[in-house]
Amino acid sequence: MEIDIITLFPEIALAPLGESIIKRAQKAGIVEIRAHNLRDWAEGKHRRVDDYLCGGGQGMLLKPEPIFKAIEELRRENTRVLLMTPQGKQFKQSDARRLAECGDHLIILCGHYEGVDFRVVEQLVDEELSIGDYVLTNGAIAAAVVVDAVVRLLPGALGDARSSEEESFSDPGLLEAPSYTKPIEFRGLKVPDVFLSGHHAKIEAWKREKAIERTKANRPDLLD
């Protein structure tokens, strides 16, 4: 897969993707991630990318011209264009799975200031995505989140395929049960006895019960 991120802050988008699993996936040729500065497509002495809102109002908006130029230069026949914006549809694990399987080229446009001129959304964007109900200073942070979630699902990115199959938000839509490692006793706190039983079916039943308890407490909406 190839991913082109268009942003005013390429370093912010790339920094979290330069370590660990995503770094290895890039080295292994599973994904190529590039971040471009939108200003490279802006014209004039000041390479201006923003302007005031039509009809008045607080803040600035990203202008359409540099974005149209950037996307028209970077896109190909099977490109999917995403816009990171708090106005988008909430990004879920199912979207990560879908995007990991959707083809070989993503362009991720990062909003900034009050967002982007809506002609961009209408003409160029396939989907608007939000990573949650809060407002970040810029979409580059959100783009890094989406890239991380998608790339780790690409074949070969995780050493052990099972670790992405069993995790939270895979079916059946429960949070994961609590898990423990050694030592068996730490500051008087013991690992639950069931783990010492060696009884696989009992351990699975315990995990399911705890997964339901945890989901009820932290994410009751998942049980609806």
- Residue with Cβ nearer ligand ADE (100 or 142): 142
Give the angle 7-9-14 at the CA atoms, nearest 5°: 95
Q: Is residue 136 marked as binding?
A: yes
- Residue with Cβ nearer ligand ADE (34 or 89): 89
Does 96 engage in binding with ligand ADE (CB under 6 A)? Answer: no
| Binding region for ligand ADE (CB under 6 A) out of 3-11, 78-86, 182-190, 198-206 | 78-86
H or E element that contains 93: helix 93-100
CA distance 101 to 157: 13
Does 7 engage in binding with ligand ADE (CB under 6 A)? Answer: no
Q: Which two tokens stand for residue 8?
A: 């005013």
Does 130 engage in binding with ligand ADE (CB under 6 A)? Answer: yes
- Residue with Cβ nearer ligand ADE (66 or 111): 111
For 7, list phi and psi in degrees, rounded to 5: -155, 165
Question: Under 8 Å CB-to-CB from 72, ≥6 apart: which residues?
Answer: none
Q: Is residue 111 marked as binding?
A: yes
Q: Map residue 131 onto helix, strand or coil.
A: coil
Binding residues (CB under 6 A) for ligand ADE: these are 84-86, 111, 130-132, 134-136, 139, 142
